[in-house]
Amino acid sequence: MLDRQDVIPLYSQLEGIIKNDILSGKYKDGDRIPSESQFMLEYSITRTTIRKAIENLVNQGLLEKIHGKGVFVRLREVKYNMWNFCGFSDYIKRRGEKPVTNVISSEVVTIKDEEFFKLIRARGVKKGEDTEYLTIDTSIIPMSLFKDIHTINFNNNSLYSIMKREYKITPKTAKLTIKAIESNDFTRNYFGDENVYLSAIGEVIDDNGVIVEKVNVIYNSKIEFNMVTDIG
Amino acid sequence: MLDRQDVIPLYSQLEGIIKNDILSGKYKDGDRIPSESQFMLEYSITRTTIRKAIENLVNQGLLEKIHGKGVFVRLREVKYNMWNFCGFSDYIKRRGEKPVTNVISSEVVTIKDEEFFKLIRARGVKKGEDTEYLTIDTSIIPMSLFKDIHTINFNNNSLYSIMKREYKITPKTAKLTIKAIESNDFTRNYFGDENVYLSAIGEVIDDNGVIVEKVNVIYNSKIEFNMVTDIG
DNA sequence: TAGTGGTCTAGACCACGGT
DNA sequence: CCGTGGTCTAGACCACTAG
């Protein structure tokens, strides 16, 4: 249900509900989701709000609109999808798989007289006895905003949950540059023998535009980056 | 000026105007563009329409919104920017540089009993005597939609202009998957010695959802792919 | 013809930034 | 305080799809 008192905008709430219904299997690949008018009746909100939620999910590559027919779930790919920039564990769980997070290193570093917490994690899914690693995440976090964050064990705790729950800081937007990189010791160790990978480098900002994390994610080639762009 | 009789939506028209003003230098990097209310007065359209145009340009990485302050041009990068998926030549010209298109091959191929026009082009900019190549584009185009397209010389003609002008088909949306690839003979020949590149593989559809082109673009590492994504 | 999404209008109230 | 963008409402008319 939607909560009009919540600080989270209605379209974001609806977006979460639809996303959840897709990932939980309520709407399967190829299914038509309810029409805009059905959503209007169900949630008592206007088309504009519904359309904004759907628009965002289309941009994330989860939905596809067909004029005159409806909005359809598009999860054609067997591969993991990179749109899920955060909420890694939830995403994996909803695929019916077991998420694994492995802290590779966790230390306090000083850059230009400022202290940062540097966290490197390998993340993946359990495949029987083995683990298939999907990303290697390097996070650089200002200690000035997150006092004592280095004392937390991130094998069992989500970074963004901690930020929200313990520090009342909500990561909101990621600005990323996508690059192609060659394999190195890390990737060989965690991803196996492929030679090239995608990597996203950038920063994550909160509601106030403050940089809460500098991030570098290396993606296993099993993860796809799909995008839709207008021409013209 | 906006044309309400035109089949092109008002927000698309406005989008084009703003984009043009950025690329032509009327709005420079860091400048604030007119506020929504100023656009309302200037063009006699509602905020919704203006916001849709601006929203699209933000998604393309050309603009940045700051709550309470305004909308700003963001062309910080010295590197070429990949948002410019089409309109390559115009983009280069507006940077004050000379675009170069070099047809590598141009042939009719048959795939599963259907004829396609296969066009491979290297595109770049003139740097003194030399050419710096930025992309290698492979286009596969159904001959059923574009009769006799193989007789056109694409050293001097833009593919999308031809589609629009000669065939009355307007490419509208590109669905792409970004991959990392290793260098090969093509890239070594045109881009030099780097080992890894970004590549976009996918299809381009028109207003009616018909696939008008299958495309594979390899990007020189001088081109950046910047993106902004919401978290949550 | 009925139902869908696509575009657009004309308002409203709010949160944020700078004066 | 005013101007900015952020969210939302309640309509309108249109174009497309399918029975």
CA angle B104, B107, B109 (to 5 degrees): 130
Residue B4 has pLDDT above 90, yes or no: no
Distance, CA of A8 to CA of B232 (rounded, Å): 10
Residue with tokens 């600005």: A175
Q: Report pLDDT for B178.
A: 83
Pairing label, strands B196-206, B63-66: unpaired
pLDDT at B38: 93
Which residues of chain A lie closer than 8 angstroms to B196, CB-CB?
A: 180-182, 195-196
Q: Are A108 and A147 spatial neighbours (Cβ–Cβ below 8 Å)?
A: no
| Residue lying closest to nucleotide C3, CA to C1' | A68
How far apart, in whole angstroms, are the C-alpha atoms of residue B97 and residue A25? 51
The nearest alpha carbon in chain B to A90 belongs to B232
Subunit contact B175:A228, Cβ cutoff 8 A: yes
Contact across the interface for A232 and B12, Cβ inside 8 Å: yes
CA-CA distance, B33 to B26, in Å (whole number)? 10
Q: What is the pTM of this model?
A: 0.68
Across A53-62, A83-92, B221-230, least confident range: A83-92
Q: Which residue is nearest to nucleotide D8 (CA to C1')?
A: A49
Q: Which helix (H) or strand (E) holds B226?
A: strand B223-230
B227/A175 CB distance under 8 A: yes
- For the cut 90, the answer to whether the pLDDT of residue B70 exceeds it is yes
Residue nearest to nucleotide D16 (CA to C1'): A68
In this predicted structure, what is the pLDDT of residue B86?
58
Which H or E element spans position B102?
A: strand B99-111
The pLDDT score that the predictor gives to residue A210 is 79
Confidence bin at B141 (pLDDT 50/70/90): very high
DSSP classification of residue A32: B
Distance CA B188, CA B194 (A): 8
**Nucleotide showing the shortest C1' distance to residue A67 CA:** C5
Neighbours of B6 (CB within 10 A): 10
How far in angstroms lies nucleotide D12's C1' from the CA of residue A41? 19
Task: Name the closest residue on chain A to residue B84, using Cα atoms.
Answer: A231
Given B176, B182, B231, which is nearest A172 (Cβ)? B231
Give the mean model confidence (pLDDT) for residues A100-110: 91
> Lowest-confidence range among A20-29, A109-118, A209-218, B9-18?
A20-29
In this structure, what are the phi and psi dihedrals at residue B122, rounded to the nearest 5 degrees? -105, 135
Judged against a pLDDT cut of 50, whether residue A159 lies above it is answered with yes
Residue with tokens 């192609």: A180
User: What is the per-residue pLDDT across B144-170, written as a single tens digit (0 to 9) for each?
Assistant: 888 889 998 888 778 888 887 888 787
* CB distance B134 to B220 below 8 Å: yes
Residue A77: per-residue pLDDT: 47
CB contact under 8 A, A231 and B172: yes
Each residue's pLDDT tens digit, A33-64:
999 999 999 999 999 999 999 998 887 778 88
